[in-house]
Every structure is written in structure tokens, then in C-alpha cells.
Copies of this chain bind each other. A is one copy, B any other.
Amino acid sequence: MTQSASAYARAHQSDSLDRLFEFLRIPSISTSPEHRDDIQRAGEWLVTRMREIGLSRAEIIPTAGQPVVYGEWLGAGPGAPTLLIYGHYDVQPTDPDEEWNSPPFEPTIRGELLYARGASDNKGQHYVHLAATEAFFQTEGAPPVNLKFLIEGEEEVGSPNLGDFIQGNAEMLACDAALISDTGMVEAKTPTITYGVRGMAYMEVEIKGPKRDLHSGAYGGVAHNPLQVMTEILAALHDDQGRVAIPGFYDKVRPLTEDERAEFKRIPFDEAAFRQEVGSPALWSGEAGYTPLERLGARPTLELHGIRGGFVGEGQKTVIPARLLAKVSMRLVPDQDPLEIAQLFEKRVRELAPPTVEVTVRTLSYADAAVIERDAPAMRCAVRAYAEGFDADPVFLRSGGTLPVVAMLNKVLKAPVIMMGFGLPDDNAHAPNEKLSLDNFRRGINTSIHFMQELAAACA
């Protein structure tokens, strides 16, 4: 008998890592235009790799923004199930660079951890499935299911063109189940199937007051300080119960069922360890009436990211800043409509703004939330695959993160979306020293192999 796919993957771990290193070295940051060429290079690298592995089709498909990489192998035939695997080859910016212990685009192994921007989010995680696919081609001749890979380049900027792409290519992307590894496990020993993701509305608030920066000694007290206005507006967006203070914000929030709250209670959550991991003197009590995990995954939130403008250098300057720009995002849950929420946000900000300033509110991106049926057949296949890959039953989690693609795939392709994430809570996904657990990388490949086998068996 030939070697099994799992045995092959185990024997060729270091080859897989070498290939992943090549991928991680490409600084494919999608949030700033100067990395456009790197984005292209990362896409080309993927196409080459897909062809080497044995996919019958692999190409870069342009969009209005960064291109999508699409690969497929349909050799399992029309009788076999078709699995669509989604990932993204773009990564977050790396600032503040001085806080990295090794360069963000020079993958470095320390202990059992692989450090690099994109290691966990998301190159390392979707590479798991390419490695699993390669193992089938190298051993059993071919994977047991038809495979489609959809790897986008704009996830970190809110996937502005992916919805149109999926809509416009629904036939090409048709599948029986979609698989995404872009989420995390609640802890290293507890594999986790994420069945819900939050939506998003990312806003910019610009406040213009004086036509130029003013000397506070000459104008303070009569010229209204736009930074004072900005802090007063932003502070008014939460009430003293930790709730988002935007009228109508909670109107369409789907209440948590008893069953879901029970599932949340099953999830191990060590509050002291979480606090230590965060590093704050204390955790926030947040929205009254909900547990930390419920607030993290199943309740909407509003976060302030930064305020640009004014004097922020060393020393002192007594300036009344002429204009300020705040970055604010809201994480949303079913059935909040992101565009409606963006409108409610703008309405509230305008109500709060005094007549002394000019306010502009922009929606930079938005995404639907999604919750997937936990008893779909593909979900059961995933549970069995985890038993092989991690020797443990997974828990079901609603995640706080936003994966716009989940709602898109679920809605357009009408397929269950299985979020099989191999990230860990301390992976520093959007921060310095991003890392991936090598143990999870290995177990992930094995889980992916077993998931494809389970899926084939379930439909046989």
C-alpha cells in the first residue's frame, strides 16, 4: 500500500514550512498603495505553487482592486462533493516596526512558534490546505473531493470587491461546502469551530473648525477647539452601562438563544489569564448583562482607533487644531444592516456636533455578520476530522472578528461555511510579533486531510 496522505504530510513538514517561508517573505500589505507590486508577487507565487501541487487550473483574476487568485481541481468527478477553500494573501501593516523582535517579513522560528506578519493571518492558515492537497496528490494520486481555492488580496481592507466577484462568478465557485481557516481556537488544547462572525462598519469622522491652526492664547475661549468637540462626540458614543449610545443601534440585534448561551458557557474562559494576555490593569465590564465571551462574539461593539491632527510631537505647542480625523469601527451581529448602522452613526454624530464646526462622516468599508447552522452535515464532518487532527472534540464559538466572505459565500453560494481556525488568542494577528503555532500548523494539515476524506465519505 502507498503511504497515506497524513503520513506524507508528517514526513514532509519541513518542505511545507520552506514553501510557506517563501510566501511569508513577500510584504503583501494591502492597506497602503506602495505595496501594490508585492500584492501582485504574492498572487503570482500562489498561482505557481498551486500548479506545482497539481491543481488543473490556477490563475490571477483581476478585480476593481487587488486581484483574486483562483485554483481548482475537479478530478473527483461530479459524483464527489466540491469543497471551496477561502483564504487571503494580503496582510496587515507592520507598524510599530520597532516592537518586532525579528523582522516582520523574515520568518523566524523561536521554539515551536513561527514569527512573521501573515503567519497566522492568513498565509500560514490557508497554506495548511494547500499542504493537505499536495499530500493527496503525492500519495493517493488525487484528493477525494473536488477542490476550489479562492484566495483574495483585500481582506485586510474590508474585502471591497469580493462581494461583486462572488456574485459575478457564482457558477465557477459553486460548492457543497466552503472551508475557511482564518479564525482561532479558544485555547491551545481546544479546537474550535467558529459558527458566527461579526459584521463591520468602518467610519471616518472629520471635524473642521478654524480655517488654520490657531494660537490658544489668542483664540482660546472663543474659537471652539475641534479636538474638544471631537472628544465630546466620541465620548458620547457609549453610555455609562457600556452600551453603544446610538439610537436604533440595537434594534435589529438577533437575541442570543438559551441554547447559544449554554454553548457559550461550555467554552473554557479563564478571565484572569485573558486579563494577563491583554495586559491591562483590569478588564472592562463592557455592555451590561453579557458575559465576556458573549460580548466578544455575539454582541455589537464600537471601537475608537485613533485621532489624527493637532500637536502630538515632543514638548509643547499651544495650538488649537484646525481639523481632526477620527477612525472608528463598529462590530455588528445578525441582523444589523451595516449600511443602516453607518447611517445611524452619521446621524448621531451630526446631532452631537455643535454649529461651531463642520462635520464629515465617511463609511470606509462595511460587511455583513453571519451565523452558520451548527447541525449541517459538513459541520459534522469537521467535528470528526478534529477528532483525528487534534484528538479532541471542538467547541462551537461565535467569534468577534469580521470575515466579510462568510456572509457572502453563505448567501450567494448557499453553502455551509466551515470556519476551521488554527490561530491562537495570542497570535498577535494585527500587532507586532505575529506568530503561528507549528504544532497547530501540523495538526491543521492532518485535520484538513481528514476533513476532505470525511466529506467524501459523507456524500458517498
Contacts and interface: CB of A to CB of B under 8 A. Distances in A.
A157 B400 CA distance: 46
A402 to B, nearest CB: 6
Of A198, A228, A307, the most chain B CB neighbours within 10 A belong to A307
Contacts of A357: 280-281
Contacts of A312: 306-308, 325, 327
A401 B215 contact: yes
A356 B285 CA distance: 9
A295 interface: yes
Nearest to A30: B315
A363 to B, nearest CB: 11
Contacts of A209: 278-280
Interface in A73-96: 92-93, 95-96
A365 to B, nearest CB: 6
A211 B313 contact: no
A149 B329 CA distance: 56
A400 B217 contact: yes
A262 to B, nearest CB: 20
Interface stretch (A163-171, A296-304, A342-350): A296-304
Contact of A296 (B200, B219, B308): B219
A278 B314 CA distance: 26
A53 interface: no
A318 B202 contact: yes
A222 B274 CA distance: 9
Contact of A310 (B230, B236, B305): B305
A317 B309 CA distance: 17
A430 B213 CA distance: 8
Contacts of A92: 317
A387 interface: no
A297 to B, nearest CB: 9
Contacts of A287: 221
A311 interface: yes
Contacts of A399: 217-218
Task: Give the secondary structure class of A's interface.
Answer: loop
A317 to B, nearest CB: 6
A154 to B, nearest CB: 11
Contact of A217 (B198, B280, B432): B198
A353 to B, nearest CB: 10
Contact of A231 (B211, B234, B354): B234
Interface string A131-174: 00000000000000000000000000110000000000000000
Given A235-B235, A304-B310, A310-B307, A356 B282 contact: yes
Contact of A220 (B220, B314, B327, B331): B331
B365 A316 contact: yes
Given A95-B313, A222-B278, 16 more contacts: A184-B218, A200-B318, A209-B278, A210-B278, A215-B431, A216-B301, A216-B305, A217-B331, A218-B425, A219-B278, A221-B287, A222-B274, A222-B296, A223-B280, A231-B235, A232-B238
18 contacts: A93-B317, A158-B316, A209-B278, A215-B401, A215-B431, A217-B399, A221-B400, A222-B278, A222-B296, A223-B280, A224-B282, A227-B304, A231-B307, A280-B357, A281-B357, A281-B358, A316-B329, A318-B329
| Nearest 10 Cβ contacts at the A-B interface | A211-B279, A306-B310, A217-B401, A224-B284, A308-B312, A221-B295, A235-B235, A306-B312, A227-B304, A231-B234
